[in-house]
A and B are shown apart, each in its own frame.
Chain A
């Protein structure tokens, strides 16, 4: 159980959220040095993500550029109360990847349709946010390999279940049941984590 030996001190939160301060500096001071540091920390990961999603080398670098420009322009919209910097970056690269991959006239849907900019106040608290990050991390690493492999395929390759079945040379039913198992496991793990969080909160405060 990962949460057992950790606490929710600010020191810890800082380690988990290395990009947050950089994004904040960009938002507040248009800090170019922070921008360069963020590029060095995240640029090559953004590129790796784009390429695993199917972009060629040059396309992936275009996606990286567009992502980083969005960070520069929209850093003020980053709300550390709702998500970590890494998660915010993830949503940006996911959206750029979608919009830059549209090829035919049938691709009418853009990322702004699916994720309109928020209008109201967000409801999350700091604790919930850090918890979500920890849960996500623990969940991902708590999954058995064969289930985690399928979750990765959903995130990276955008394959339908039957395409995943072909790629892994497994029956469609197996893929569906593994994904279902992964979901169930995520749910159980999340509930366990919740229990640990309550214990931690009770002992810390």
Chain B
């Protein structure tokens, strides 16, 4: 069971259909493994139902029902984007965006101990990446210009604020300066969504900055 969860505000926005982006995918991944948040989200869906039920009625064109009835026999559109299989070990919302599983991804190295893989989910608002931190190693101290959302995919990591394991959903904002360290026993893989790039603050960190864009 996860110990860290999306905020009510974020979960409501997601359930209201306002997060059709990398962050929405991350929330959906968390929901897949978190019964508690699925239940919270169900209440927000009910709220949506109530709001729909309370809507003013907007008159429909006269021919609409006829048009609709004549279409009932149509067969539904065949292939969908989401029919791509992907690796069954990944959460379903991510599968079609990841070519294989963690061990076979074309990771690029920021350093020997830190690798990244950019997910093809980028839009003009968010950057979406997997980070792999080698067992027992840490990221350079860094702050964020904006928000960074992290979902632990495998392994665990910790920083000054807590210990995080698979399924945990963490938000770090620009006030937080932290140095995540992977657990000793295995590499830690995280799914991160940022609305601004990381900013490393130490001397070696500053040298890394150009590679983090």
B51 lies within 8 A of A140 (CB): yes
In the complex, B175 has a CB within 8 A of chain A: no
Is the Cβ of A49 less than 8 Å from the Cβ of B20?
A: no
Question: Of residues 1 to 27 in B, which have CB atoms within 8 Å of A's CB atoms?
Answer: 8-9, 12-14, 16-22, 24-25, 27
Question: Is B35 within 8 A of A123, CB to CB?
Answer: yes
A interface residues, Cβ below 8 angstroms from B: 32, 35-36, 39, 43-49, 51-52, 60-61, 64-65, 68-69, 72-73, 82-84, 86-91, 93-95, 97-98, 102, 106-116, 123-124, 132-133, 135-137, 139-140, 151-152, 154-156, 158, 179-180, 183, 186-187, 190
B residues near A123, Cβ cutoff 8 Å: 35
A35 close to B72 (CB less than 8 A): yes
Q: Of the candidates B25, B27, B45, B122, which one forms a contact with A90 in the assembled complex, judged by CB atoms under 8 Å apart? A: B45
A32-B72, A140-B50, A190-B43 known; A112-B20 Cβ under 8 A: no
Provide the residues of chain A in CB contact with B43, threshold 8 Å: 132, 135-136, 190
Does the CB pair A45–B57 fall under 8 Å? Answer: yes
Q: How many angstroms from the CA of A89 to the CA of B46 in the assembled complex?
A: 10
Assuming A87-B48, A133-B46, is B35 touching A45 (CB within 8 A)?
no
Chain B residue with Cβ nearest A140:
B50
B71's partner among A48, A65, A84, A136 (CB-CB below 8 A) is A65
What's the interface size class on B, roughly?
Answer: 35 or more
Q: Which residues of A contact B160 (CB under 8 A)?
A: none
| Smallest Cβ-Cβ distance to A40: which chain B residue | B65
**Contact between A135 and B72 (Cβ–Cβ < 8 Å)?**
no
Is there an interface contact between B64 and A61, defined as CB atoms closer than 8 Å? yes
B9 and A180 within 8 A (CB): yes
Number of A-B contacts (CB under 8 A): 171
Binding site for A on B (CB under 8 A): 8-9, 12-14, 16-22, 24-25, 27-28, 32, 35, 42-43, 45-61, 64-65, 67-69, 71-72, 74, 76, 80-82, 92-93, 96-97, 120-124
**In the complex, A46 Cα to B54 Cα: how many Å?**
11
Most A-side CB within 10 Å, residue of B16, B46, B56, B76: B46
- In the bound complex, do residue B51 and residue A73 qualify as a contact, i.e. CB atoms below 8 Å apart? no
Contact B82 A112 (CB under 8 A): yes
Nearest Cβ on chain A to B48's Cβ, whole angstroms? 4
**CB of B45, distance to nearest CB on chain A (Å):** 5
Chain A's closest residue to B83 (CB) is A112
- In the complex, the chain A residue whose C-beta lies closest to that of B72 is A72
